[in-house]
Amino acid sequence: MATTFLTLVNDTLRRMNEVEVSATDFPNVTGFRAVVKDAVNSSLQEISQKEFEFPFNHTTGTLDLVIGTDQYTLATDLKIADWDSFRINYDESNNHGARVLKQINYDSYLKRFFERDAEAGTGDYDQPIYVYRTLDNKIGFTPKPDATYSVSYSYFAYATDLSSATDTMSVPDAFKHVVIDGAQYHSFMFRDNTQQAAVVKAKFDEGIERMRTLLINRFTDVRDTRVGRLLNVPHGNA
């Protein structure tokens, strides 16, 4: 069972010898207990930022392509896209076959396809073959779509702040203690207790490294493919 925001806050308060908060009072807490709520979210954000490829940050998105429109906005919570994952989904109703899209970088798009797409009329539209990312962080497809297509893709998302008492963290429960260590660190820093902050910060950093070892680097003989697949700007060649 996933750990709730209320549990994370109360576990942190208890470690710091502070009075816990009830579910009824949770939305309106003030003072140090409000600080601890923020500290829990800061801890979750820091864990996510330390390692973008934690599996609990992995999710999928979809885009609905329309005829003649080649550039679209990506998911708002997208941190890193897996550019090898973009694919047109099979659509029996429109007789569209599935297709894995090839990534190209923006320079390649400009050199090879920009002029063609800029001058394309409806008769030049076709099922997209390539995907690219623009300089303003949009996602582009070429050729321009000749029909409606559903595109799916995988990505690693930014952590979402918890808000209500019953909100649950995406971090596995086995690492709840790491989240609480981080929350204590931020809480001690608020109190300007740098000595205690340093103690829990060391535990927090150690815990994140342990998470990385257990959740990502389990197999030392597997090559790390993130450099090639998971950049903010695609760099592959067509």
Tens digit of each residue's pLDDT (9 = 90 or more) over 61-80: 999 999 999 999 988 889 88
Task: Give the long-range contacts of residues 115-121, CB within 8 A, separation 24 or more.
Answer: 116/143, 117/70, 117/142, 117/143, 117/144, 120/144
Rg (CA), the chain: 23
**pLDDT at residue number 224:** 45
Model confidence at 177: pLDDT above 80? yes
The tokens for 209 are 């490294």
Specify the amino acid at residue 94: N
pLDDT-based confidence at residue 218 (cuts at 50, 70, 90): low
Closest CA to 186 of 49, 45, 56: 45
**pLDDT at residue number 97:** 81
Model confidence at 2: pLDDT above 60? yes
The tokens for 72 are 């679209």
Give pTM, 2 decimals.
Answer: 0.80
**pLDDT at residue number 137:** 87
Model confidence at 225: pLDDT above 80? no
Proportion of the chain above pLDDT 70, given as a percent: 91
